[in-house]
Amino acid sequence: EGEQNPEMSLAFMLNILEERWNTHVRFYTGDIGENAEDFSHSVEPGEVALIENIRFHKGEKKNDPDFAKALASMGDIFVNDAFSAAHRAHASTEGIAHHLPSAAGLLMEEELSALNSALGTPKKPVAAIAGGSKISTKLGVLNNLVEKVDYLILGGGMANTFLFAQGADVGGSLCEKDMVDEALTIIEKAKQSGCEILLPEEMVTVTELSLNAPNENTPSTAIPSDRMAVDISAKSCEQILEKIKDCKTIVWNGPLGVFEIRPFDNGTNMLAQTVAERTQKGEYISIAGGGDTVSALDNAGALNDFSYISTAGGAFLEWMEGKTLPGVAALMKD
């Protein structure tokens, strides 16, 4: 954040890189400017130069043009392989590309190709699975998805808000009651776009959230005030899976229940395992991303059987919103 922080130093990488690459790695910890340029020119053929954490410099997050130019003076070509940081317009992700011939790295290329196959030019029909606790943090995502997919499956707290907006009793479930208008707007937008929103018809509910808490299946529109929804039921999973069985592309972001507490990971597990199985049979192209999503799929034992798992969190979400990613746009300049 513009200041030195020993805990964030890249010094620990030196031995790792030297061992992996079997070559000498030189470490630069000084200012970015003339000294840095001189340092880069002193690097011998076959050597590797590692620059200290670029966030230690104030010009990085500000995308300061002079700082970006100074960074560029240290090299001849810029290769960006950090898709996970592509949503940030920083000097090392965006600014530097205006001063050097630039290209996407292999991982960046792989990410962009996979994401394009999911929402850019996907095989149809397309289903998006969107979970998580709040629609307020994913309004952009939901508004973009309903214009691009054939089915939008909602789970987690988001589903409760959409159910409540349509007159359902959600009991003590997590619900953003102040987001009713936004939910109704998305529902109407989906109708106009030909996107069918799939909400769970039945929920797993508890009176108190704890490990292995007593639970029962409850209609999602009539949850008693002393109960809360913590997962989608097996019946709801079966209904969703039947609905999307003929889809060709699946995009997944967010768990469908409180997957961190068993057995309320069952709904997410059942859907994830079936999507993974269909992917392995060649029926689906499946793309997933986001920290909680990756953890949930890993918990389900399905992580390695999806077509592609994005390395990104924020960049993946902004891509799902349809936003231009500065780090990618900079590579596409004339």
Write the pLDDT tens digit of every residue in 161-173. 999 999 999 999 9
Cα-to-chain-centroid distance, residue 261: 22
Contact 189, 141 (CB under 8 A): no
Mean pLDDT along residues 50-74: 96
Q: What is the pLDDT of residue 119?
A: 82
pLDDT at position 105 over 80: yes
For the chain, which domains are there? 6-104 (3.40.50.1260), 110-320 (3.40.50.1260)
Sequence-separated contacts (24+) of 292-297 with Cβ below 8 Å: 292/132, 292/254, 292/255, 293/131, 293/252, 293/253, 293/254, 293/255, 295/259, 296/255, 296/259, 296/265, 296/268, 296/272, 297/252, 297/272
If you average pLDDT over residues 74-85, what whole number do you get?
95
> What rounded mean pLDDT belongs to the chain?
94
Residue 245 has pLDDT above 70, yes or no: yes
pLDDT of residue 323: 87
Across 314-332, average pLDDT = 90
* 249-263 per-position pLDDT tens digit: 999 999 999 999 999
Per-residue pLDDT averaged across 204-233, rounded?
Answer: 97
What is the spatial distance between Cα 63 and Cα 66, in angstroms, rounded to a whole number?
A: 9
Judge whether residue 103 has pLDDT over 70: yes
Beta carbons within 10 angstroms of residue 47's beta carbon = 11
Lowest mean pLDDT among 115-124, 255-264, 280-289, 301-310: 115-124
pLDDT greater than 60 at residue 334 = no
